Amino acid sequence: MPNFWSDPVGFLIQWLTNLLTGLGLSPELVKFLLAFLGAALLPLMAMLFVVFLIWYERKLYARMQDRFGPNRLGPWGIFQTFADMGKIFTKEIITPAGVDLIPFNLAPILAVGAVLLVWAVMPLAPRIVGVDLSVGLIFVIAAGGFGELAIMLAGWGSNNKYALLGGFRAVALLLSYEVPMVIAMLIPAMLAGSLNLVEIVASQDVPYLLLAPVAALIFFITQVAESGRAPFDLVEAESELVAGYNTEYSGLKFGMFYVAEFLHAFTSSMLFVTLFLGGYRGPFANEFPLLGLVYLMVKTFIVYFVTILFRGALPRFRIDQMLDLNWKVLTPLILAMVFVTALVDKIVVQAGGPLLVRTIVLFVVNMLIFWFSSKLLQRNVRPPRRKVSVQRPLATANVTPSASQGQDNLSA
C-alpha cells in the first residue's frame, strides 16, 4: 500500500480498488470505473475552482482601479460568485428566431471543452498528471483550435450581424496570434528535447525563463491575446459591438462563455508556468507531490496576477494595431529567436558546456536580439511633434500689485 504523502494518486487508486473489489465487482470493471472517475473529477475540480477565480479576479481588478469590488455578500464578498451563478442558472434561455440550432448550441460546449481538454495533459505534481501524453505540447495547440471554432460558430449561429462581425474579428485575431504562439511553444520543446510536458518540466533544472526570456515574453503576450483579454479584448468590447459574438446568448450558455474566458486565462498562466517557470519544481517536491501542487499554484497565481495587471492597466488596442503587432513585430522576432536558439543551443551543447555556460550564453544572446529589435522598432515610433507656436499667456487670478494699482478705478 503506497504511502499517501509520497504517492497520493497511487494510494487512492489502491484504496478504492480494495473497496470496490471487496464489494464484489470484477477487476476490469473496477479499473474502468476508476479511469472514468479520474476523467470526470479533473474537469469538475477545474470548474469548481473557477468560482474562486472569478471572485479573485474581480476583487483584484477592482483594487487596481482604486475601488473595492464585490463586498456586500459575505466577508470580502466571497459569496458574490454564488449569487452570480444563481442568477445565470435561473435566467430564461431565449433562442432568437432564425438561428441555426446546431452551431448555436454547440458553441458554448466547445468553448468550455477546449479549455478543459488542456487540463488533461497538464502536469500538476511530480507523479500526478491526467494523461502522460508524449505529444502533450501539440495537444494543447490542437485543443486551442476548438476554441476558435467555438467562437466562429457562436458568431454565425446567432443570426445577428454584430455577432457575426464580432466573430470574424475574433477569429482573425486568434488565428493570427496562434502563429507566434506555436513557434514560441517550440522553444522550450527544443531546449528540453521532447514534446512531453512532464519531460519539459523535469528537464528545467534552470527555468526556461532564463534560457529563453524573449520567447517567454512573446508566449505571454500571445496567450493574453488568445484568451481575448484586455488589451486585446476587441472581440467583446462592450461599447463597440454590443457584446460581440456572445450577444444573443442568455442564461447558462452565456455563463459557459464567461467561465471559459476566466478558465482560459488561468489555464494559459498554468501553461506558462509549466513551460517557462519549472511547473511543480521546488524544494522537496519529489518526496511530497502535494507540495509540488502547492508550488505550481503559487507560481500560477503570480503569473495570473500579471495577466490581471495587463487587463487593469492597458487601454484596448485597435484591430489594425493588434494585427500590426502580430505580423510585423512578434512573428519576425520569434522566427529569429527560433533560428538563433537552435543554433546557439546545439553549438554550446555539442561543445560540452556545463549548464551555467549554456544559461549565460543563451540569456546574453536573447538580450542582444531583444535590444537589437527594439532599436529597429524605435525607428518606426512616431517622432515627437514639432513645436508650432509658443503657448499664449493665460489670464490668471494672481494679479500683480503694479498692474492693480494702474487699473483700479475705485482708488481716488
Q: Residues interacting with other proteins, by CB under 8 A? A: 98-100, 102-103, 106, 132-135, 138-139, 141-142, 144-146, 148-149, 152-153, 155-157, 159, 164, 167-168, 171, 175, 194-196, 198-199
**Cβ 48 to other proteins shortest distance, Å:** 28
> What distances in angstroms separate CA 169 from CA 172, 239, 319, 324, 331, one per listed residue?
5, 15, 8, 14, 19
Phi, psi of 123 (to 5 degrees): -75, 115
Residue 384 grid coordinates: 515627437
Residue 152 grid coordinates: 466562429
- Shorter beta-carbon distance to other proteins: residue 10 or 282: 10
- Shorter beta-carbon distance to other proteins: residue 70 or 147: 147
Residues 6+ apart with CB under 8 A from 37: 16
Element (H, E) at 129: strand 128-129
- Shorter beta-carbon distance to other proteins: residue 153 or 303: 153
Residues 6+ apart with CB under 8 A from 412: none
- Shorter beta-carbon distance to other proteins: residue 198 or 303: 198
**Cβ 210 to other proteins shortest distance, Å:** 25
**Cβ 56 to other proteins shortest distance, Å:** 31
- Shorter beta-carbon distance to other proteins: residue 156 or 257: 156
Distance CA 317, CA 237 (A): 11
- Assign 128 to helix, strand or coil: strand
Distance CA 316, CA 234 (A): 7
DSSP characters over 61-114: HHHHTTS--S-SSSGGGTTHHHHHHHHHHHS-----TT--HHHHHHHHHHHHHH
- Shorter beta-carbon distance to other proteins: residue 245 or 304: 245
- Shorter beta-carbon distance to other proteins: residue 100 or 408: 100
Distance CA 245, CA 154 (A): 6
**Cβ 171 to other proteins shortest distance, Å:** 7
**Cβ 209 to other proteins shortest distance, Å:** 24
- Say if CB 122 and CB 131 are below 8 A apart: no
**Cβ 134 to other proteins shortest distance, Å:** 4
Residue 267 grid coordinates: 489555464
- Shorter beta-carbon distance to other proteins: residue 163 or 209: 163
- Shorter beta-carbon distance to other proteins: residue 42 or 99: 99
**Cβ 345 to other proteins shortest distance, Å:** 16
The CA dihedral of 70, 72, 77, 81, to the nearest 10 degrees, is -70
**Cβ 128 to other proteins shortest distance, Å:** 16
The closest alpha carbon to 219, from 305, 115, 333, 311, belongs to 333
**Cβ 250 to other proteins shortest distance, Å:** 19
- Say if CB 279 and CB 204 are below 8 A apart: yes
- Shorter beta-carbon distance to other proteins: residue 145 or 332: 145
- Say if CB 220 and CB 305 are below 8 A apart: no
**Cβ 356 to other proteins shortest distance, Å:** 27
The closest alpha carbon to 118, from 300, 306, 341, belongs to 300
